[in-house]
Amino acid sequence: CNPHYVMADPYRGGMQAVAEAYRNLSATGARPIAMTDNLNFGNPENPETMGSFVCAIEGMAQACKTLDFPVVSGNVSLYNETDGVAIPPTPVCGGVGLVQDVSDLSSLTAISPGDHLVVLGETMGAFGASLYAREYLRLEGAALGRPPEVHLEREKQHGRFVCEIISEGLVRAVHDVSEGGIACASADLALAHDLGCQIWQPQTAQHGQDAEASLLALFAEDQARYVLAVSPASLSSLQDKARAQNIPCAAYGVFQGAEIAFMSERNQTPISSIKLADLRTAYEGWLPDYMSSVNAD
């Protein structure tokens, strides 16, 4: 769950919490079949809190019905406050999926140098309530805007397609796109497989050829998307299969080297880059450093 989405729009945020759980399972090759939830909110005697609680549940219910992803258990935790200040509204979803044949998952192997970085799903450039808006632009409250739209039928179609291409061995690795967009999902894959990547500027339907805007779109949080690692031998077959089902599928880069580099698609000139070792230090060292500072105090 992204509590920032729920704060900005409880109904849409509730839908997104379910959709992301659905994507997480699909990215492993498992068909989502059921979920449990854990609804964490503040004092329900506060009308605003109660309204958020109700709307989030309604959004979650709509997502569960459309995705055929029933809630089979769960719990509710209310009155979560400190000195009268409530926690962010946080509906947590845990899902379970079914793999018909575990041998189908053998295709999810280590990424190899030269594998294509492919994005499945459409990038429009949704920045409302996004990580980029919060952390880089430092926006807060109403200025953050509404979270991205959740297209549930598209989530279902893309999730089933991902399970299908995994079972057919057309991909080496899959990661759902959520907080932080394509850039963060690609970084997760790079860290997990200890292999850098070059990421090209996407040409979005909204931003066209504008270089700066298209680069920023790498951090957009449009829903129903996945980042795939695909071998050169499988790329054409994958794109043909996606085209036949009218699913957007485009190469956004290549896995190679020891850094993550944002490239200009036109002339392949690095715009910005970070060494994988430095990224790993920042990513894995944050919590130990924070706990050390707390203990020192």
Residue pLDDT, tens place only, 177-219: 999 999 999 999 999 999 999 998 765 545 455 656 667 789 9
Token pair listed for 56: 């989030």
How, if at all, do strands 197-200 and 85-86 pair? Answer: unpaired
CA-CA distances (angstroms) from residue 158 to 18, 120, 136, 155, 162? 15, 8, 30, 5, 6
Q: How large is the average pLDDT for residues 1-27?
A: 96
Is residue 201 classed as helix, strand or coil in its secondary structure? coil
**CB 93 within 8 Å of CB 17:** yes
pLDDT in tens, 223-235: 999 999 999 999 9
Q: Say yes or no to pLDDT of 26 above 60.
A: yes
**Does 165 or 100 have the greater pLDDT score?**
165
Token pair listed for 52: 């958020």
Secondary structure of 126-170 in the HEC alphabet?
Answer: CCCCCHHHHHCCCCCHHHHCCCCCCCHHHHHHHHHHHHHHHHCCC
Burial tier of 165 (Cβ tally within 10 Å: 0-12, 13-18, 19+): buried
**Does 260 or 106 have the greater pLDDT score?**
260
Residue with tokens 């719990």: 75
Is residue 226 classed as helix, strand or coil in its secondary structure? strand
Task: Give the pLDDT of residue 205.
Answer: 47
Q: Say yes or no to pLDDT of 104 above 50.
A: yes
pTM of the model: 0.93
Nearest CA to 115 out of 227, 204, 224 is that of 227
